[in-house]
Amino acid sequence: MTKYFEIWLASARYSVTRTLMFRFDFFLWAMVELFWMSVNLLMISVIYQHTDSIAGWSKYEMILLVGTSLLVQRFLMGFFWSSLFEMGRNIKSGNFDFFLAQPGNILFMASTRKLDLDGLMNSMVAMGIVAYAAHKLGLHPTLLDVALYGLMIFCGLIIHYSMLVLTISLAFWLTSAQGIEGSYFTLSEFSRLPRAAFKGVASLLFVWLLPVVVVSNAPAETLIRGFQPSWALGLVAAALVWFAAAVFVFHRGLRRYASASS
What is the Cα–Cα distance from 66 to 228, expressed in whole angstroms? 20
Other CB atoms within 10 A of residue 92 CB: 15
**230: which residues sit within 8 A by CB, 6+ positions away?**
none
Taking only the tens place, the pLDDT of each residue in 190-231 is 778 888 777 778 777 777 777 888 888 889 988 888 888 887
What is the Cα–Cα distance from 18 to 23, expressed in whole angstroms? 9
Look at residue 262 and tell me whether its pLDDT is greater than 60: no
Query: pTM to 2 decimals?
Result: 0.88
Q: Across residues 136-157, what is the average pLDDT?
A: 91
Q: Residue 186's pLDDT is what?
A: 73
Residues 72/75/79/80 CA torsion (nearest 10 deg): 30
Q: Across residues 20-35, what is the average pLDDT?
A: 80
What is the Cα–Cα distance from 23 to 6, expressed in whole angstroms? 26
What is the Cα–Cα distance from 82 to 30, expressed in whole angstroms? 14
Q: Where are the domains of the chain?
A: 2-254
| Residues shown for the chain | 262
Q: How confident is the model at residue 119 (pLDDT cuts 50, 70, 90)?
A: confident
Cβ atoms of residues 221 and 139 within 8 Å:
no
Please tell me the least confidently modeled range out of 100-109, 139-148, 171-180.
171-180
Q: Report DSSP letters for 12-42, one per residue.
A: HHHHHHHHHHTHHHHHHHHHHHHHHHHHHHH
Q: Which of 207, 195, 252 has its CA nearest to residue 234? A: 207
> How large a percentage of the chain has pLDDT more than 70?
95
Determine the 3-state secondary structure of 54 from DSSP.
strand
Taking only the tens place, the pLDDT of each residue in 154-202 is 999 999 999 989 888 888 887 655 666 666 777 777 778 888 777 778 7
Q: Across residues 5-11, what is the average pLDDT?
A: 87
Determine the 3-state secondary structure of 79 from DSSP.
helix
**220: which residues sit within 8 A by CB, 6+ positions away?**
61, 64, 65, 68
What does the mean pLDDT of the chain come to?
A: 85
